[in-house]
Structure 1
Amino acid sequence: MKVICAGMPKTGTKSLCSALRTLGYNVYDFEEQIWFLLDDLKKAMDIGCTAEEYRRMFSGVDVVTDIPAAFLWEELHRAFPDAKVILTTRKNEDEWCTSALQQFKVARENVVLRFLMMLSYTGRRVQAYGNSLTRFGLTLMPSSPFRRAPVNEYAVKMRYREHNSHVIAVNYGFSNKSLQATPKDQLLQFNMKDGWKPLCDFLGKPIPDAPFPHRNKGGQIVDEMVNETELFKKIKRECIFSLCVLALLISYLGYVLFL
């Protein structure tokens, strides 16, 4: 692994993923982590994994972005000590909090998504995976996109500050002495508004002849995932099967009751 992206969700992780793919990296974003490594990463979140297990899981992968890798970044860095670390941030914590809560709102209000997750075996596994994320402080946000629970915005912002401060502190050698401090040229604090130059300088790559990508504005990634990703294509197939079984069961019960 060459790059570990440690930024919290809604700090431009989807834009960074697109940018890194444009630069030629093989990136495991949220979808790839779920699609290929669901059971392994659930174990990593629930009880932990060894460095050898992480090296097996991410063999051939150049970059990880988004969750859960962002919360496992320290363990990943122990397994891949030569990897560079990118910490994506927003302008300020208020901007990030507004964006994060908007993402949950969009997911909660997506009726198709709620329907798919209820009727699919894979969807229920993904929800169980989401529950494992609560071990990393996401109880400060709704534990499921479908729960209309009150949110303490101060606590959400505090989690954001804690995460970012810890990444910076560990990489600059101010805490966690068990992890060898990363040289300063191995950590980039990056905002999407900075564009190609600081990213390409950090990675030693030429600047592409293309605009810097900007994805997932206003939580639009939810509809994109439901409509386009292989994960949700599988979930939809499982839902069709579940509905067919349910229809047959209802027909049979109707036949038995009214015969």
Structure 2
Amino acid sequence: MKVVVAGLPKTGTTSMKEALKILDVKNVHHYFENCCVAQDQWTNILRGRWCPEDFKRLFHDVDAVIDEPACFLWEEISLAFPDAKIVLTIRENDEVWFESLKQHYKKEECLYEDYLVKYLSLTGWRKYRNIRLPMDRIFYGVSKMTTQTIAENKSNLKLKYRAHNNYVLQAAPKDKLLVFKCSDGWLPLCNFLNLPVPNVPFPHGNKGGGSYIDRESHPQAVKMRHEVYHSIAAIFSISLGMFLYLLW
């Protein structure tokens, strides 16, 4: 483990994932990898069944970890990998962060594919039931994150954003911590990681919210899409069989 990104979602975590890959930090776990590739491990962690050695096993071949649920347990991961550097990604202020969070869920709720994946893909359903819902309750203090619950809990969510950032600032070793906004560009990040500055613009991933993966080509997205197709085919076959049975 080289880099632990402690910033909450909607602080440029998708851009950071792309930036680290440009910097040749090869194996980066973002939200989708955490929740799908390491689904069983994170399910146990969110149920409180873990020890420090679990993080060593979970991330033994990972170079960087970003976004939920790892950002909430950045300290435990850092203790398991004491040589890793910590990057706290932030927004201009809590209001900007909150509006970005709200916009993300507003757009996500308009994606019919997410509903199909949530209920017709075994991987998607387990991710939602075992990781997304517990994470919403434990870390955000809501039954589940929706545009309605976000609006209803605005003050509480902004407080959690400030409290999280303040704790990282207090608890992280100062010589291993970089407080970073993606608008800062390559220079502070590359200096912190002792890497050369690339001759390309700093990436801007997931602009406008609503997506954090390449839904067409990401292996886990492809897997869940195939599970949806199989579920639809099974439902159609069963329905057709019942119809023909009743017809005859």
Query: TM range, normalised to the smaller chain?
Result: over 0.9
Question: Matched residues in 2 for 1:196 and 1:101: separation?
Answer: 28
Cα pair 1:28 1:65 within 8 Å, conserved: yes
SS at 1:72's partner residue? helix
1:245 aligns with 2:234: yes
Q: Distance in 2 between matches of 1:113 and 1:225?
A: 13
Structure 1 position 254, deviation (Å) = 1.1
Structure 1 segments, 4+ long, off by >6 Å, are: none
Report the counterpart of residue 154 of structure 2 in structure 1: 153
Corresponding position of 2:247: 258
Q: Which residue of 1 aligns with 2:124?
A: 123
| Superimposed CA distance per residue, residues 124-162 of structure 1 (whole angstroms, 9 cap, x where no aligned partner) | 11101101213532234x6155x7545321111011011
Q: Which residue of 2 aligns with 1:188?
A: 178
Any idea what the Cα deviations from partners look like across 1:169-225, whole Å, max 9, x if unmatched?
112xxxxxxxxxx2x120000001110111011111111111111111111525x54
Aligned residue for 1:207? Answer: 197
Q: Deviations over 1:223-250 (max 9, x none)?
A: x543332222111111111111111111
Question: CA contact under 8 A between 1:4 and 1:63: conserved in structure 2?
Answer: yes
Q: Which runs of 5+ in 1 are unaligned?
A: 172-181
Amino acid at match of 1:227: E
Letter in 2 for 1:240: Y
Conservation of the 8 A alpha-carbon contact between 1:9 and 1:66: yes
Single out whichever of 46-55 and 147-156 deviates more from structure 2.
147-156
Whole-Å separation in 2 of the counterparts to 1:191 and 1:14: 12
Consecutive unaligned residues of structure 2, counting only runs of 5 or more, are none
Q: Percent identity?
A: 35
What amino acid sits opposite 1:238 in the alignment?
A: E
CA distance in 1, matches of 2:217, 2:211: 10
In the alignment, is the contact (CA less than 8 A) between 1:106 and 1:219 conserved in 2?
yes
1:138 aligns with 2:127: no
| 1:46–1:135 CA contact under 8 A, matched in 2 | no
Q: Aligned AA for 1:138?
A: Y
TM-score, length of structure 2 as denominator length: 0.93
For 2:84 and 2:22, how far apart are their aligned partners in 1? 19
What does residue 230 of structure 1 align with?
A: 219
SS at match of 2:87: strand
1:12 aligns with 2:12: yes
Structure 1 stretch 129-138 or stretch 195-204: which is displaced more? 129-138
